[in-house]
Amino acid sequence: MASSTETSIVWLRDDLRLDDNPALSEAAALGLPLTVVYILDEESDGVRPLGGATKWWLHHSLASLAAALEAKGSGLLLRRGPAEEIIRELVAETNARHLFWNRRYGQPERTVDAALKAWATENGLQASSYQANLLFEPWTVQTGAGGPYKVFTPFWRACLAGADIRDPLQVPGTLPAPPKRTRTAQADDTLDGWGLLPSAPDWSAGLAAVWEPGEDGARNRLEDFLDGPAEEYGTGRNIPGVEGTSRLSPHLRFGEVSPFRVWRQIRRRYPNKVPADVGIFRAELGWREFCWHLLYTNPDLATRNYRPDFDRFEWEKPGKDELDAWQQGRTGYPFVDAGMRQLWQTGWMHNRVRMAAASFLVKNLLTDWRVGEAWFWDTLVDADAASNPANWQWVAGSGADASPYYRIFNPVTQSKKFDAAGNYLRRFIPELADLDGKAIHEPWKAGVELDGYPRPLVDLPESRERALEAYQKLRDS
């Protein structure tokens, strides 16, 4: 039995929720005075600083989490700096004997956690970690030969073959109050003091109009999706002009909803047989798991080609004008431009358009995928350490189970096929609002004045040929 002066610490990271939070539930069950802390750590070796859009999200998500914790009799302590050091200080301040956290899977984060666990053990503390954010922890899924998977389909098949996906945990009824600390409250960090929100200029209005960061927002998204488009996901997911996907990505990124909860809600609705379309949706969750599986065994996925032969690929350094045009949605190809403007305005882009916009940068402009990855990292609210680089490498052809390099998305064909009436294009490119469903995909052929909308930045067939030549050169070298 713990002495009454002992306390516990829960360190929350990418698991900003009360529901299905094993670390929080276990700490609550222990019943000792409990400190719940979030640390903004941009100083530990290798930890990648957040981009602008994820900073905005984090601010609001933490505000929502703090309010939820307070309503349960607890609160959220904020600290900034190298996490290992800060946890040690906090242990001393609170006389903590028990540390709880949910596991992370990136290399720099695992290094911090392992060091802390070793330190805790040496010092007679109990450090307990839990599986919370992935249905299948990377090391538990192995090929017959005992290595990591490189191809999605057998990976996902192997996951599901042995699947014993646990039920999510309920939100704890109450939480133990925080202990008294020796450090004064004035010394604590504040959310506003972190300056995560953009100012001068504040570009976040478009994000705020679309998103509700936090657990309530995540729950609403999940229920709306399952009540609505889920059973037509197979086709709806390809149409950027409709809300055919869940838009759960930023909520999953920050752990505002657990994948176990998503899985459970599906099983609950379909206890006997999951409809095919909902099965396709579940496989997309599988892609998220696969990306983390890849990152776990390839910690430098954001900086190195997964396929080393691509190290010899001759990328061209993009001119500033070209890069500006891509980033600002002014390439002259409406499908790409609508996507890039959706990204800038809302912090999110439809998956089909992400593929087309990424392909345009990498293949038609022959720009290194890392340039695009960095821009998405800064602008996506769902920017994810595994999914972002894995998908960029997938598009570039340098990744695992990647799209072959010679498959080059044609933004005009994509546009005609997946936004036939031009609804999506018109929403994000007001300059084209008056063009009809036929003309809008190739506005330069419309023969009318276009209110400042640019002509195509590159010729599609020519730039395609150039990309294929560069790829052939790589294969021949």
Residue 367 is a binding residue for ligand FAD (CB under 6 A): no
**CB-wise, 135 or 355, nearer to ligand FAD?**
355
* Amino acid identity at 183: R
Q: Are 92 and 121 in contact (CB under 8 A)?
A: no
Alpha carbon 27 to its chain centroid, in Å, reads 27
What is the total residue count of the chain?
477
Residue 152 is a binding residue for ligand FAD (CB under 6 A): no
List the catalytic residue out of 43, 284, 431, 442.
Answer: 284
Q: 326 catalytic, yes or no? A: no
List binders of ligand FAD among 308-327 (CB under 6 A).
none
Q: Please tell me the distance from the alpha carbon of residue 346 to that of residue 366, in angstroms, as a whole number.
A: 27
Using CB under 6 A, which of the segments 48-56, 128-136, 333-341, 379-387 binds ligand FAD? 379-387
Q: 315 catalytic, yes or no? A: yes
Q: Which of 58, 90, 355, 440 binds ligand FAD (CB under 6 A)?
A: 355
Q: Kindly write out the interface string for residues 381-400 of this chain, putting x where it contacts ligand FAD by CB under 6 A and - elsewhere.
A: -xxx--xx--xx--x-----
User: How many other C-beta atoms can be found within 10 angstroms of the C-beta atom of residue 109?
Assistant: 20
DSSP 364: I
Structure tokens at 291: 């990306």
Nearest in space to 24 (alpha carbons), one of 191, 238, 204, 168: 168
Q: Please tell me the distance from the alpha carbon of residue 313 to that of residue 73, in angstroms, as a whole number.
A: 57
Using CB under 6 A, which of the segments 33-41, 44-52, 94-102, 243-251 binds ligand FAD? 243-251
Q: Kindly write out the interface string for residues 42-81 of this chain, putting x where it contacts ligand FAD by CB under 6 A and - elsewhere.
A: ----------------------------------------
**CB-wise, 176 or 240, nearer to ligand FAD?**
240
Smallest separation, CB 252 to ligand FAD (Å): 4
SS3 at position 110: helix
Q: Please tell me the distance from the alpha carbon of residue 285 to that of residue 249, in angstroms, as a whole number.
A: 10
Residues 6+ apart with CB under 8 A from 430: 451
Using CB under 6 A, which of the segments 72-80, 131-139, 241-249, 309-317 binds ligand FAD? 241-249
Q: Please tell me the distance from the alpha carbon of residue 415 to that of residue 201, in angstroms, as a whole number.
A: 32
Q: 35 has which bridge partners?
A: 9
Residue count, binding to ligand FAD (CB under 6 A): 27
Q: 394 catalytic, yes or no? A: no
Residue 361 is a binding residue for ligand FAD (CB under 6 A): no
Using CB under 6 A, which of the segments 51-59, 87-95, 148-156, 246-254 binds ligand FAD? 246-254
Residue 354 is a binding residue for ligand FAD (CB under 6 A): yes
Nearest in space to 164 (alpha carbons), one of 142, 136, 133: 136
Residues 6+ apart with CB under 8 A from 262: 222, 248, 252, 285
Residue 295 is a binding residue for ligand FAD (CB under 6 A): no
Q: 139 catalytic, yes or no? A: no
Q: Are 235 and 247 in contact (CB under 8 A)?
A: no
Which residues lie near ligand FAD (CB under 6 A)? Answer: 237, 245-249, 252-253, 284-285, 287-288, 291, 351, 354-355, 358, 376, 380, 382-384, 387-388, 391-392, 395
What positions carry a catalytic annotation? 284, 287, 315, 351, 369, 392
